Amino acid sequence: MTNTHQELLRCSGLGRRYAGVPALSGIDLSIRGGEVLAIVGENGAGKSTLLKMLSGVIAPSDGDISVADADGVLRTVQLSSVRDATRAGIALVHQELNLAENLDIAGSIFLGREPARFGFLDLHSMQASARDWLARVGLDLDPTTPCGALAIAQRQLVEVAKALSCNARILILDEPTSSLSAREADRMLEIMSELRAQGKAVVFVSHHLDEVLRIADRVIVLRDGKCAGVLERGAYDRNSIERLMVGRSIEPTEQRAARDSASVRLRVSGLTSAHRRAHPVSFVVKTGEIVGLAGLVGAGRTEVLEAIAAITPHGGQVHLDDVELRGNTASRVRRGVAIVPEDRARNGIFAANHVAMNMSLAWVDRNSRVRTVDTSAERGVVGKLMERMQLRPAEPDRLLHTLSGGNQQKSVIGRWIAVSPALLLLDEPTRGVDVAARAEIHAEIRRLADSGTSVLFASSDLEEVLMLADRVIVMHEGSIAGEFTAQEVNEVAIMHLATGGAPSGSWTQTAARGKEHRRGTKL
């Protein structure tokens, strides 16, 4: 029986070099049972590297890891594979979920260690014990449900159940709430504290300092591949963490001027998207305006953005500067539409190509003479873009997959800057991006808007919506539930509409004022 607060894992002088360059060095850390440890840091600070070493995905180049054995004695272990880590009681819940979609829940929980009798699957006991593990994470689901039918939040919990079923004592979660809605994220944090109460050690990476402040017993801050400090509960607040992360505190951003008199850039009328419950939606975005689409995961925000860019077919009409947008994505891009997709790895980047190619793809045809690529001019523009986006390291020839997530995201957004798009559509512009990079990306979006680009972005991160948007459109179940200006918006009001609540007093007042750009589903 593990007594709580027993030291379960200790690493000393832990480090990892990639091609000789240290990604992380000199990490001393101990993890105790019954505590929640948060790892925070900027992009490229070494968080993922640390997680991967702890979970056996990559081997450390320096230092060693000791894990408590059954008697609670720390012994040095070689974690050279995920299997080793599992045997040592360490389980990783990936940021990119990797459940086999064609298996059912029971099948994926026991994948690779299915209970069997004479070589035949023992489905009965598999499903019974799957049900037990699901209950431990508060999921009331039939174990025969296929994983493909689960929502992201549910899949994540299934992964946690799978980790628990391996008798994991140390659970490592890589950005567990990054793809969850606020309500689901709350549930996830509750589960994490329940696991803590059961004596497990929970280690998680998060970019949401609110979550960290809420739940973490200890915070380790990484900066530039080194440990910038370990803070105990009670000894930290938002400010002290931010200071350690970036070496300074982050200034709150100022309000942008209202755009009431600007001309209408985008007019969406009766748009029906690929969303399963798509209602026709209508709204406008003015020149130089930043409009946020808020709502729960699955409310239909992505579908609206992708419909405007013709990634998916749509009904209704989309007008850009009073001319209707028709045709496929390529033709709309030529009209000045730009889109930054939600799923960066799948739809955004060319991982095996270098940064220059990634960043020039959207405008290389406009930079060309007689359709041949002017390579030196291309490099010149890419260099300027990288500087403007503060993309690090500033090497255009680096392969994209060697960059951190935040810098990859900067490259995808930076791709569009050189064309000064008329309309920039962003889907979760800063998911999985650290505080400092997020501020840089926000500043860039504002700069673009100031120069006349209209911005429409979807975000599940309410803080981001409040910080960035001049106007907020709230979606619920495929239709528009309401709309706020930056002056009247607050988190409670958004959540009220996003979760299906009736329009509140303040919104009705806005409606009564007859703002000409208000286009609800009621029209």
The answer to whether 257 contacts other proteins (rule: CB under 8 A) is no
**3-state SS class at 26:** strand
**Among residues 134 and 456, whose Cβ is nearest to other proteins?**
456
Smallest gap from Cβ 105 to other proteins, in A, equals 28
Rule CB under 8 A: choose which of 59, 197, 361, 492 binds other proteins: 361
**3-state SS class at 505:** helix
Smallest gap from Cβ 350 to other proteins, in A, equals 5
For the beta carbon of residue 431, count every other beta carbon within 10 angstroms: 20
Closest residue by Cα to residue 54 from 36, 27, 73, 17: 27
Taking CB under 8 A as the binding criterion, the range among 32-40, 91-99, 238-246, 352-360 that sits at the site for other proteins is 352-360
The answer to whether 219 contacts other proteins (rule: CB under 8 A) is no
**Among residues 107 and 348, whose Cβ is nearest to other proteins?**
348
CA distance 210 to 415: 31
Residues 415-474 contacting other proteins, CB under 8 A: 415
Whether 289 contacts 267, CB under 8 Å: no
**3-state SS class at 492:** helix
Mask for 279-318, x = binds other proteins (CB under 8 A): ------------------------------x-x-------
Smallest gap from Cβ 332 to other proteins, in A, equals 8
The answer to whether 348 contacts other proteins (rule: CB under 8 A) is yes
Taking CB under 8 A as the binding criterion, the range among 114-122, 191-199, 322-330, 491-499 that sits at the site for other proteins is 322-330
Instruction: Report DSSP state, residue 465.
Output: H
- Secondary element (H or E) of residue 415: helix 405-417
The answer to whether 368 contacts other proteins (rule: CB under 8 A) is yes
Residues 15-34 contacting other proteins, CB under 8 A: 17-21
Smallest gap from Cβ 17 to other proteins, in A, equals 7
Taking CB under 8 A as the binding criterion, the range among 13-21, 142-150, 260-268, 432-440 that sits at the site for other proteins is 13-21
**Among residues 54 and 339, whose Cβ is nearest to other proteins?**
339
CA distance 428 to 118: 49
Closest residue by Cα to residue 201 from 5, 56, 11: 5
- Secondary element (H or E) of residue 444: helix 435-450
Taking CB under 8 A as the binding criterion, the range among 64-72, 251-259, 295-303, 370-378 that sits at the site for other proteins is 370-378
The answer to whether 365 contacts other proteins (rule: CB under 8 A) is yes
The answer to whether 350 contacts other proteins (rule: CB under 8 A) is yes
CA 70 → CA 11, 67, 88, 163, 350, distances in Å? 18, 10, 10, 18, 46
Smallest gap from Cβ 302 to other proteins, in A, equals 12
**Among residues 70 and 330, whose Cβ is nearest to other proteins?**
330
The answer to whether 131 contacts other proteins (rule: CB under 8 A) is no
The answer to whether 339 contacts other proteins (rule: CB under 8 A) is yes
Query: Tokens standing for 340?
Result: 């930054």
Taking CB under 8 A as the binding criterion, the range among 163-171, 356-364, 450-458, 503-511 that sits at the site for other proteins is 356-364
How do strand 423-427 and strand 454-458 relate by DSSP bridges? Answer: parallel
Please tell me the count of residues contacting other proteins according to CB under 8 A: 36
Instruction: Report DSSP state, residue 193.
Output: H
Residues near 489 by Cβ (< 8 Å), separated by ≥ 6? 465, 466, 469, 472
DSSP string of 277-336, one letter each residue: TPPPEEEEEETT-EEEEEE-TTSSHHHHHHHHTTSS--EEEEEETTEE--S-HHHHHHTT
Q: Please confirm whether the linkage preceding 393 is cis (ω < 30° from 0).
A: yes
Rule CB under 8 A: choose which of 347, 390, 504, 521 binds other proteins: 347
Q: Which positions lie near other proteins, rule CB under 8 A?
A: 17-21, 309, 311, 328-334, 338-341, 346-353, 357, 361-362, 364-365, 368, 371-373, 415
